[in-house]
Amino acid sequence: MTTPCIEVEAYLKDLQDRICQAVAGLDGAPGGFREDLWQRPQGGGGRTRVLTGGPVFEQAGVNFSHVFGEGLPPSATKGRPQLAGSAFEAVGLSLVIHPRNPYAPTTHCNLRYFEARTEPVTWWFGGGFDLTPYYGFADDARHWHATARAACAGYDSDSYARFKAWCDEYFFIKHRNEPRGIGGLFFDDIQSGDFARDFAFVKSVGDHFLKAYLPIVERRKDRPYGERERDFQLYRRGRYVEFNLVYDRGTLFGLQSGGRTESILMSLPPEVRFRYDWHPAPGSPEAELYDVYLKPRDWLAGPG
């Protein structure tokens, strides 16, 4: 008999294969992804794949993990405190892609399934995908959110609006008082009581990721840029580092559960730059990112 964890594992491994093949194909670098298989001493392990130094993607990490243990870490029970200390099993796919061209955005996607060994078993899904541009383009934002909306079609009627708002709230850098990017979808503790229905939704999100992201990279990857754009990209990558190390629940879960550090921190960009109290010049393309794109909004409202 196929258990839910095994069913989710099979899908996520296949999705990892499809994403890596597509990303490596667009990048074109010889060798493609490096693969590391790892074991977690407390139970389980994973399959990490990382592409570095490519002509299109400076770094792309796509990580599958299947871990289990005797006690859920605090990051996994924040919304379910009654499960603290429960034995658990967790399956997940997490990826972060950092393009080389500053006009191409960074992206993140995560899909996960948890089981807590209660009686009866408590299970739930989480995940989503979000986009972090360095220079904003309205057509990219509309395409991204239109694809996110399509991924939610057939689930609850308010799914896109609800999960978009959740994403805007979650990927917010509180100490900077600014969003990390233009959002997308974020959901956690998804459990309608119908596993097949919830799993079908999660698969739809996973299957729409490449449709959402690759066309944007294809449009932007060859756009000319100079040191100014590269400098701003490295500066804004610092915000990505801050969020992942301070707030991200996936990073915290990996570290608290004793996961493989290299796999957990593959999300960090290979190069980054921090500056003291820097602000873009008013009216500049860099200021436009803050003034127009780092503002939660309905990108699908109105014409276009």
Looking at residue 181, its pLDDT comes to: 97
Q: Which residue has the higher pLDDT, 286 or 259?
A: 286
Residue type, 296: P
49-71 mean pLDDT: 93
Q: Is the pLDDT score of 77 beyond 80? A: no
Tell me how far apart the alpha carbons of residues 152 and 155 are, in angstroms, rounded to a whole number. Answer: 6
Average pLDDT value for residue range 147-166: 96
SS3 83: helix
State which H helix or E strand residue 200 sits in.
Answer: helix 195-220
Evaluate if residue 267 carries a pLDDT over 90: no
Strands 122-132, 106-116: pairing kind = antiparallel
The predicted structure's pLDDT at residue 237: 97
Q: Which domains does the chain have, with CATH numbers?
A: 3-293 (3.40.1500.10)
* Positive or negative: CA dihedral 60, 12, 259, 241: positive
C-alpha distances in angstroms, 287 versus 85, 134, 136, 220? 47, 10, 10, 19
Query: How many beta carbons lie within 10 A of that of residue 221, not counting itself?
Result: 17
| Residues annotated within a binding site | 94, 98, 108, 110-112, 145, 175, 258-260
Q: Which amino acid is at 140?
A: D
Q: In terms of pLDDT, which residue wins out, 212 or 79?
A: 212
Q: Is the dihedral of CA 238, 240, 243, 249 positive or negative?
A: negative
Taking 90 as the threshold, does the pLDDT of residue 81 lie above it? no
The residue ranges of DSSP E strands in 100-148, in sequence order, are 106-116, 122-132
Q: What is the pTM of this model?
A: 0.93
Q: Quick one: pLDDT band at residue 76, thresholds 50, 70, 90?
A: low
DSSP at 267:
G
31-48: pLDDT as tens digits: 899 999 999 888 899 999
pLDDT above 70 as % of the chain: 95
Question: For the residues 72-96, what does the mean pLDDT come to?
Answer: 78
Q: Is the pLDDT of residue 90 over 50?
A: yes
When pLDDT is cut at 50, 70 and 90, the band that residue 277 belongs to is very high
Q: What is the pLDDT of residue 128?
A: 97
How large is the average pLDDT for residues 206-213? 98
Give 13's contacts (C-beta < 8 A, 6+ positions apart). Answer: 47, 64
What mean pLDDT is predicted for residues 155-168?
96
- pLDDT greater than 70 at residue 214: yes
Query: Is residue 87 classed as helix, strand or coil in its secondary structure?
Result: coil
What is the Cα–Cα distance from 205 to 208, expressed in whole angstroms? 5
Q: Binding site membership for substrate: which residues?
A: 94, 110-112, 258-260
pLDDT value of residue 236: 97
The mean pLDDT of 111-139, rounded to a whole number, is: 93
Which residues are catalytically annotated? 108
4-18, 76-90, 160-174: range with lowest mean pLDDT: 76-90
CA distances from 196 to 10, 134, 190 (A): 15, 38, 12
pLDDT of residue 70: 79
What is the phi/psi pair of residue 157, to 5°? Answer: -65, -25
Q: What pLDDT, on the 0 to 100 scale, is given for residue 304? A: 42
- Condensed to tens digits (0 to 9), the pLDDT of residues 1-18 reads 567 889 999 999 999 999
Q: What is the pLDDT of residue 260?
A: 82
State the pLDDT confidence band at 79, using cuts at 50, 70 and 90.
low
